[in-house]
Structure 1
Amino acid sequence: MNLTRTRWRSAALAAAVAAIAAEADRAWARTLAEWDAAPGTPAEHDLAALVADAPDGFEWRVVDAALDLLTCPACAAPLGSGERGCGPCDLADGNRYAARETDRPGVPPGNEHAVRVAWSVARHPHRHPPRAVCGMELGLPEVYAGRLPTTAQAQAYRRLIDGLTDAEVERVSSLDDLLR
């Protein structure tokens, strides 16, 4: 999995991102085996293109791994990760949400969607407003651990983030830090 960022908001965020990236790598390896495609071959590229064209037939980690293997024809970034306004990247980024989301065992319903959205925002922060990035990055370690905030909690976090200065948005490193 291509993790282009080298600096993360916190160690907890870095750990969650690394764990999800490893899961995506394993999911892609299983998909390659199921489709009898070897890594680094034209068959792998063809499979990645098939997954990108029909994301609703695959789990989201497989779709994200496939997009990382494809190059955007317009901006040359991994498909779906280019700047907003790049047509092919915008389309691929939107289509990634057609992929299947199966909640992991022992997590509340909807947790997997929260993980998926926060993961995507954390990996591609340049595609989102800074306050949205802040919220998703602060929440990812929690939702990945299986804790899903209530609507009231999420709204309270949002109000707090909206009240931060631009510098504080960049500096805050955890939900506890935000609450302080």
Structure 2
Amino acid sequence: MLRVDHHRFRSALAEIEASIDAAWNTFCAGSGVTPGTPEAQELAQIVLQDTSEFDWRVVDGALKQLTCTECGNGLGAGPLGCAACDLANGFRFAAQETDRPDAQSRNEHALRVSSAVARTRHRYTPQARTGYELALPCLLAGRMPTTPQAQRAKDRINQLSDDELDRLIDPRPLYGDV
């Protein structure tokens, strides 16, 4: 079984998508805009003019509202080398991160990066996908690997073939108990 087909990964990804959608819908409601309308697309374009003013989930929600004029994919989710998507994907990382009260410090940053990788996995190497995707459920639960755990995991990941990486489902062989 591939990791992307495993319920652990699919559930984590669905939870992230739901949190992004909820943040976007709340932002739209606070702005007096109905989600899914042309006004919401205009609002998304305004958000992307200065992503540092907004929470990362709102920025990711804004990206989901727009289509790339160069490649036709969701903005920021197109293939590597699509200049507009590369730029939009970079803007995502300028957004604000507010640590959740029930999570370790800096967990929100790790969660944002892991979710970006998991949601646009074709933009990242098999090694990056593996590390971030395996950590995603733990990050959602408010936990995160220590620096030594992450370094050990990276060393182990770099020793595996792409096929072995895609079939890696359980994070414990890499991270231990997180």
**Is TM (by shorter chain) over 0.5?**
yes
Against the structure 1 CA distance between its residues 179 and 44, is the aligned structure 2 distance closer, same or farther, given a 3 Å change threshold? closer
Structure 2 Cα separation of the partners of residues 165 and 131 of structure 1: 9
Does residue 133 in structure 1 map to residue 146 in structure 2?
A: no
TM-score (norm 1): 0.92
Do 2:115 and 2:136's aligned partners in 1 also have CA atoms closer than 8 Å?
A: yes
The match for 1:14 is 10
Cα distance, 1:178 vs structure 2: 4.5
The match for 1:33 is 29
CA RMSD in angstroms comes to 1.5
The match for 2:74 is 78
Q: 1:60 aligns with which of 52, 56, 60?
A: 56
Cα distance, 1:177 vs structure 2: 4.8
Structure 1: state its 5+ residue gaps: 1-6
- Match runs of 1:17-166 below 5 Å: 17-166=13-162
For 2:64, the aligned partner's letter is D
For 1:8, the aligned partner's letter is V
Do 1:80 and 1:89's aligned partners in 2 also have CA atoms closer than 8 Å?
A: yes
Cα distance, 1:40 vs structure 2: 2.5
Structure 2: state its 5+ residue gaps: none
TM-score (norm 2): 0.93
Cα distance, 1:67 vs structure 2: 0.3
Identity of aligned residues (%): 45
**Number of residues of Structure 1 aligned to a counterpart in Structure 2:** 174
